[in-house]
Chains A and B, each alone.
Chain A
Amino acid sequence: MMKRTAPRSTLRKIIKKHKPQLRLAANADLLVHLNFLLFLHRLAEEARTNAFESKSKIIKPEHAIAAAKLRTINNF
């Protein structure tokens, strides 16, 4: 369960690339990282459910795609 440090500067660069005029508060990028982790978490849960349903022991690309399609990002 080793947690890795959040790539704070990379996150800032990504957001800057998309929205150059937008600024980030001091610790806002940590919450962005948290949001990203939770997003991956939701995606992973869904993919795992799909894999179970197809009785597969590993996550296959189709499971991930189905999970992504289901979770159209802002909606739950």
Chain B
Amino acid sequence: MLPDLDNDTPRFMLKRIIQTQPQVSPLAPQISKHEETEEAGLEPPSKRISSTVEMQLPDLVPEDTSMTTFYMTRKKKKFSISEFERAADKRLPQNQTQSTLDSTSLARSLHMSLGSLIPPDTVEKRGLLRRPKNHKAIDMEAFEGGVEQNMLQRKAQNYLVDSQTASMIRRATLMSDAEIMMSNTELFVQPQFGEQSQHRLSALEPQLPESKISAQGSKTFDAAHEEARLVGLVSNVGTHEGRTQRYSEKNLIVDYEHVGRMTPVSPKTFVSQGEDHQSHFHQSDPMEQFSVPEEVVAGTTEHHANARYSEQLEKKLTKTPESQITKAQDARVETEMTASEEEEVAEGSVEHLDSPKAEPEIARSFGAGSLSRHSHAFSSQYFEKSGTKSFKKAVEQAGELEDRTVTGEVEEMEEETTDDEAEIEEPESQEISMNTPAFIHAAAYKPLSSLSTPHPAESAVPKFPLQPLRAKPVPKSSGVSRRKMHEPELASSLIKKVFSHYVKMPVARDAFRIVKKCSERYFRQLSNDLEAYTQHAGRKTVEVADLEVLMRRQGLVTDKMPLHVLIERHLPLEYRKLLIPVAVSGNKIIPCK
């Protein structure tokens, strides 16, 4: 009576099982196991059968418990390949014992099939049970928290208590500011900078007599620069100065880390901080008098500017005994230059050092803050311009701002930056280099002024100079340039494809470059706008509604043209399904709301 698995109904199979219940036998469990594993693969589990088998199992269990424990270990060693096996092991011994004893092939096959049926069911159940999907939320939060903890740990290791408390205070102040973010998503920025600063330090120290100062200066440059960025405007000036006093060269790392942590701070915020730091490191003991201007300068400088300039500064300063002063000057000037032709600027700044040197040092201290801020914004504007031109402007501005106090200059700087936009645009347009900077600046600043909140404008400004800075450490990390990690960019091929499709005409290669730059700027503005809208709604997460508001403001979505129509026209089907809820039968809506 062979079991006809295809034609027999479960009822019949169960009947057979009940009638021919085999006795438990400890003999030859392996053979049955072999057969069972084979059967398991072949036969699809029948739920009814498995349930009935399960019902039977309790009967068998008491009989086989002693045996099962014995055999489970043996079986596990041999066949514990998968969870299935393990699950099966628990039930199989019971079935196997039955099957082995069963003389009839039917019973054996039945039990084997039954045994195979049960584990799949349980395995299936286990397989269906999935861990709750909280990947993104957990990852981001944990990541940010982990980064902060990392920062804290690092600080605890290397820094004085003062620096730590200072950083804590700063962080606390920063937290109060909405736009300042605590977690640094770009992890590699810090270590690279640390490496850079350390390398620079080590290289410079043996070379120059003032290498200490310069090295420290460079370190603080980065640190101060970064830190300055991080620290908000909130009452930082006073605390900075006090802290800078405390900060010896050792504290450079603190600043550096702070800065690395908080990249997207408005220029103003870091100006105050940068002033303190920069001045501090630039002039250790003898330069303390110039600490304020130094700090200011440092604050304004961009990371990369700091690195490059500090290096160049150090090299060139060795010549003059007044290098300290010039360094401060250079740092200030160099920071102003930022993203634009770095080398040219650096050299130009060094050369120009002599001219600004004449400026009163004291005045510098006052003007440095505003100057650095202004120059920073200025330099960011001129990121594509040749260094000399912007440098001259910065020098001019420096002269203007010299007499003003740092704090007072904060608001003034803002006004000046906006005022200077008009000035900047003209010389920019005259430049021989690409016209894109002109219109980019024009376009960049128009929305900046149009936006009510000054912070997005501020954050937009330093962001751009940041990018070239980040590019520098890239080769250090690995041979393969991981551009996407350091600077997430949209795939140029995607831009090309989409643009060519929309324009329906052959496009020149240079035109593509322009389109790419436009899209980069577009994303910057987009993020500013989205942040403004989200904050206006009192949220921290950009929602679909915010994007709709953005599109409505852009005139894409009108009363005649709803969002859904646009989605249907331009997005592929898969995304349409995700975005547009569709009602299907059974009172369901996809995607579920």
- Asked if residues B498 and A40 are in contact (CB atoms below 8 Å), the reply is yes
- Asked if residues A35 and B550 are in contact (CB atoms below 8 Å), the reply is yes
> Given A16-B185, A22-B534, A61-B510, is A74 in contact with B542 using a C-beta cutoff of 8 Å?
no
Give the residues in chain A near B179, CB-CB below 8 Å. Answer: 21
- Asked if residues B547 and A28 are in contact (CB atoms below 8 Å), the reply is yes
- Asked if residues A48 and B490 are in contact (CB atoms below 8 Å), the reply is no
- Asked if residues A34 and B521 are in contact (CB atoms below 8 Å), the reply is no
- Asked if residues A6 and B527 are in contact (CB atoms below 8 Å), the reply is no
- Asked if residues A51 and B505 are in contact (CB atoms below 8 Å), the reply is yes
- Asked if residues A24 and B550 are in contact (CB atoms below 8 Å), the reply is no
Give the residues in chain A near B504, CB-CB below 8 Å. Answer: 44, 48
Contact pick for B526, options A16, A32, A61, A64, CB 8 Å: A32
- Asked if residues A20 and B264 are in contact (CB atoms below 8 Å), the reply is yes
Instruction: Mark each residue of chain A from 36 to 60: 1 if its CB lies under 8 Å from any CB of chain B, else 0.
Output: 1111110111011001000001111
Contact pick for B540, options A11, A23, A68, CB 8 Å: A23
Say how far B32's CB is from chain A's closest CB, in angstroms. Answer: 50
Q: Does B586 contact A (CB under 8 A)?
A: no
Q: Does B443 contact A (CB under 8 A)?
A: yes
- Asked if residues A15 and B523 are in contact (CB atoms below 8 Å), the reply is yes
Q: Does B156 contact A (CB under 8 A)?
A: no
Give the residues in chain B near A40, CB-CB below 8 Å. Answer: 495, 498-499, 502, 515, 519
Give the residues in chain A near B511, CB-CB below 8 Å. Answer: 47, 59-61, 63-64
Looking at chain B's contact residues, is the secondary structure mostly helix, strand, loop, or mixed?
helix
* Cα distance A61–B517 in the bound complex, in angstroms: 12
- Pick from B85-93, B381-389, B569-577 the stretch touching chain A: B569-577
Contact pick for A69, options B443, B491, B507, CB 8 Å: B443
Max count, chain A CB within 10 A of own CB: residue among B519, B554, B555: B554
- Asked if residues B519 and A39 are in contact (CB atoms below 8 Å), the reply is yes
* Cα distance A39–B547 in the bound complex, in angstroms: 14
- Asked if residues A28 and B543 are in contact (CB atoms below 8 Å), the reply is yes
Say how far B3's CB is from chain A's closest CB, in angstroms. Answer: 51
- Asked if residues A30 and B527 are in contact (CB atoms below 8 Å), the reply is no
> Given A34-B567, A51-B505, A59-B503, is A15 in contact with B527 using a C-beta cutoff of 8 Å?
yes
* Cα distance A69–B140 in the bound complex, in angstroms: 37
Give the residues in chain A near B498, CB-CB below 8 Å. Answer: 4, 37, 40
Question: Looking at chain B, what size class is its interface with the partner chain?
Answer: 35 or more
> Given A58-B506, A58-B508, A64-B515, is A73 in contact with B543 using a C-beta cutoff of 8 Å?
no
- Asked if residues A74 and B525 are in contact (CB atoms below 8 Å), the reply is yes
- Asked if residues B491 and A74 are in contact (CB atoms below 8 Å), the reply is no
Give the residues in chain B near A41, CB-CB below 8 Å. Answer: 502, 570
- Asked if residues A48 and B181 are in contact (CB atoms below 8 Å), the reply is no
* Cα distance A28–B140 in the bound complex, in angstroms: 17
- Asked if residues B435 and A65 are in contact (CB atoms below 8 Å), the reply is yes
Give the residues in chain A near B463, CB-CB below 8 Å. Answer: 18
Question: Looking at chain A, what size class is its interface with the partner chain?
Answer: 35 or more
> Given A19-B527, A30-B578, is A37 in contact with B570 using a C-beta cutoff of 8 Å?
yes
- Asked if residues A65 and B523 are in contact (CB atoms below 8 Å), the reply is no
- Asked if residues B531 and A19 are in contact (CB atoms below 8 Å), the reply is yes
- Asked if residues B436 and A27 are in contact (CB atoms below 8 Å), the reply is no
Give the residues in chain A near B169, CB-CB below 8 Å. Answer: none
Say how far A52's CB is from chain B's closest CB, in angstroms. Answer: 9
- Asked if residues A68 and B518 are in contact (CB atoms below 8 Å), the reply is yes
- Asked if residues B501 and A1 are in contact (CB atoms below 8 Å), the reply is yes
> Given A7-B494, A22-B542, A69-B442, is A57 in contact with B527 using a C-beta cutoff of 8 Å?
no
> Given A21-B179, A22-B531, A34-B566, is A72 in contact with B442 using a C-beta cutoff of 8 Å?
yes
- Asked if residues B443 and A31 are in contact (CB atoms below 8 Å), the reply is no
* Cα distance A74–B418 in the bound complex, in angstroms: 18
* Cα distance A22–B571 in the bound complex, in angstroms: 24
Q: Does B396 contact A (CB under 8 A)?
A: no
* Cα distance A63–B495 in the bound complex, in angstroms: 17
Which A residues contact B (CB, under 8 angstroms)? 1, 3-7, 10-11, 13-25, 27-28, 30-41, 43-45, 47-48, 51, 57-61, 63-65, 68-69, 72-76
Known pairs A28-B542, A65-B514. 11 more at Cβ < 8 A? A4-B494, A7-B494, A14-B523, A16-B488, A22-B527, A27-B579, A28-B547, A41-B570, A43-B515, A48-B505, A76-B554
Which B residues contact A (CB, under 8 angstroms)? 140, 178-181, 183-186, 263-264, 435-436, 439, 442-443, 446-447, 450, 459-460, 463, 484, 487-491, 494-495, 497-499, 501-508, 510-511, 513-515, 518-519, 521-531, 534, 540-544, 546-548, 550-551, 553-556, 566-567, 570-572, 575, 578-579
14 A/B residue pairs, CB under 8 Å, sorted by A: A15-B530, A17-B185, A18-B523, A19-B528, A20-B183, A20-B184, A22-B527, A28-B546, A43-B499, A47-B511, A72-B447, A73-B443, A73-B447, A74-B553
Q: Lowest 7 CB-CB distances: which A-B pairs, in order? A: A13-B488, A44-B502, A21-B181, A44-B503, A18-B527, A31-B547, A61-B510
